[in-house]
A and B are shown apart, each in its own frame.
Chain A
Amino acid sequence: MAVDIGGLTLKNPVMPASGTFGYGEEYAPFLDINRIGAVVTKGLSLKPKAGNPTPRIAETISGMLNAIGLQNVGVEDFIKFKLPFLRELTTPVIVNFFGNTLEEYGEVAARLSEIPEVAAVELNISCPNVKKGGIVFGTDPKAAHEAVSVVRRNLSKPLMVKLTPNVTDITVIARAVEEAGADSISCINTITGMAVDIKTRRPRLANRTGGLSGPAIRPVALRMVHQVVQAVKIPVIGVGGIVRPMDAIEFLIVGARAVQVGTANFVDPASMITIIEGIEQFLIEEGLKDIHQLIGSLEL
């Protein structure tokens, strides 16, 4: 079940999606965290970030909208208060982060480089709230290239870059990111959406729009992972709507080297364990000795 995702070896290909597993400790009572491939933490920024006004979440059919606004404790409090728990884990820790400016991206990367317990980082260039000159970093190939380059220069660890689906052609961004030095790509982040309370005629999120996640987005995510796998040589991590083992297997078949499980953690905190066991079972049933026989086995 072991896979390599751009310089980082995981004992199995299943990890949480950033922002849906807190800093790990929130879910410690409900599953053996050391059994999952890695822990991915809530998006960090240089300074603490308060997030958006409420209501921040709304449920829709098979998906949820969120506009949390990247509330987080900031790098220094992360090191002081969250790292002690993560340090005790045997499974690798991947820290998701973002910056408000290019300089900030570089600064956070440099700070995270110094921390031995951080096995790899995941760079979020897909945050809808973070803009450079009016352009979200992740939606413009030049801005994406620039952000990844700055991080690359300041970082001595494996670098995973997380892409937004809110673009016309995701392969353009994927190639820009690869060229700028990313070791792997995770896709997708949430899809911008909206919901309205028909009685009050007000948006159901204070932010008006939010990011859609959950089973509702899986076909979109799968399509985009498929496209990105064709477009780049670096490993791709599939994210979006994975709930059951068969969902994860679909992503592996189209060529994802690993997967991240997000909203499903809220529904069933042990879902990642079920997914790991389900993939193992599937390999046995299909008579496959190595997960790499499954990865990218899509017949066209």
Chain B
Amino acid sequence: MKNYKTIILSNQEISPGYYRMRLLTPGFSESARPGQFLMMRVQQSLPPLLRRPFGIFRTGFLPADCDGMPPKEYTEILYKVVGRGTNIMADLHRGDKVEVLGPLGRGFDVGDPGEEKILVGGGIGLVPLYMLAESLSARSKVRLLMGGRNRDDILAVTEFERLGVETYVSTDDGSLGEEGLVTQVLERKLDKFPSSSVYACGPMPMLDAVYRICHRRQVPLQVSLEALMACGVGACLGCVVKGAGHAEDNPRYLCTCKQGPVFRAEQLDWSRLGEEPGYCEGCKS
């Protein structure tokens, strides 16, 4: 965990409204685990006041330059432009300075190598699944079910395929892959491969549906959640979600930034999670 005062190596629009940003982060990849995130300060001046949380898509090395420069270690994020902060980010260029705090939070438990894995990504929720797929695909059979509203929301699928991951795409309007919800695909896959374990990230209503499917079938599920965050390190207690057994007179809040963002489904109180008000409105994914 560190605050990196760093520069942007590249920042490109990869699909309408979605960007991929590559940052110079020496030492980051040794410590970054699948499912962790970073907090980015999008510019030195204020506003925007707070840093923005983003999942770590991948880390890697750029080969050594011909002019003898050593290999450069980088971190990549994928983001959707939704508001003030991400609009500023979309205008940044190679060489611009940003600050990132990370890697933060608890990532995925990679589980038992024997069992088959199903990853479910909704839109930008695909981000934390790439590093997970990287570490799982060497040991397990991995299938990625990727859903979105339309074809623009489907990102980086070929990169997953390159890892040997079997990918299935569905869109609400049928503009790419099959028409329908990613949860319908999940039901079918679980019929065929009932002993898989499931990892999911996406908008809350999707996670809620995934939870109900997995719960009914007694399939192990881990989810990566989003929450409004101010600090990202467990200091402000702004990012909490209701834990299992939560009640008005017995509140049990879990800190998304520190105890999450990845939770085992049974850690959470799902009774009202799907209708939580707030930032998820009009869903960003």
Interface residues of A (CB under 8 A from B): 19-22, 26-27, 29-30, 42, 50-51, 54-59, 61-64, 66, 68, 71, 197, 199-200, 202, 204, 206, 214-215, 243, 263, 265-270
Contacts and interface: CB of A to CB of B under 8 A. Distances in A.
Given A59-B48, A215-B49, A51 B253 contact: yes
Contacts of A29: 1-2
Among A59, A199, A200, A268, chain B packs the most CB atoms within 10 A around the CB of A59
A269 B3 contact: yes
A50 B236 contact: no
Contacts of B30: none
Contacts of A61: 47, 49
B3 A268 contact: yes
Interface string B43-79: 0001111110000000000000000000000000000
B3 A30 contact: yes
Nearest to B276: A54
Given A62-B46, A266-B236, A55 B228 contact: yes
B37 to A, nearest CB: 15
Interface of B: 1-3, 41, 46-51, 99, 101, 227-241, 251-253, 258, 276-279, 281-282
A263 B49 contact: yes
Nearest to B229: A57
A264 B276 CA distance: 28
Given A20-B235, A266-B231, 9 more contacts: A26-B233, A27-B235, A54-B227, A55-B277, A55-B279, A62-B49, A71-B237, A214-B49, A267-B41
B282 A199 contact: yes
Among B234, B237, B239, chain A packs the most CB atoms within 10 A around the CB of B237
Contacts of A59: 48-50
B277 A200 contact: yes
A22 B50 contact: no
23 contacts: A21-B235, A22-B236, A26-B234, A26-B258, A27-B233, A51-B251, A54-B228, A54-B276, A55-B278, A56-B228, A56-B237, A57-B239, A62-B49, A66-B230, A68-B237, A71-B253, A263-B49, A263-B230, A265-B231, A266-B51, A266-B232, A267-B41, A269-B3
A54 B281 contact: no
Contacts of A30: 1-3, 101, 233
A44 to B, nearest CB: 13
Contacts of A200: 277, 281
B13 to A, nearest CB: 25
A204 B101 CA distance: 26
Nearest to B255: A71
A62 B47 contact: yes
A269 B2 CA distance: 10
Nearest to B279: A55
A214 B49 CA distance: 8
Contacts of A202: 277
A286 to B, nearest CB: 25
B238 A57 contact: yes
B228 A266 contact: no
B281 A215 contact: no
Which 8 residue pairs across A and B have the least CB separation, nearest first? A50-B251, A22-B235, A57-B238, A55-B278, A29-B1, A26-B235, A266-B231, A26-B234
Contacts of A19: 236
Contacts of B41: 267-268
Contact of B238 (A66, A215, A269): A66
A199 B240 CA distance: 24
Contacts of B252: 50
A270 B228 CA distance: 22
Given A63-B49, A270-B3, A206 B277 contact: yes
Among B48, B99, B229, B233, chain A packs the most CB atoms within 10 A around the CB of B233
A51 B101 contact: no
Contacts of B276: 54
A21 B50 CA distance: 15
Contacts of B236: 19-20, 22, 57, 66, 68, 266
A46 B238 CA distance: 22
B263 to A, nearest CB: 15
Given A26-B234, A50-B253, A56-B240, A267 B50 contact: yes
A64 B231 CA distance: 12
B278 A54 contact: yes
Given A51-B237, A199-B281, A58 B228 contact: yes
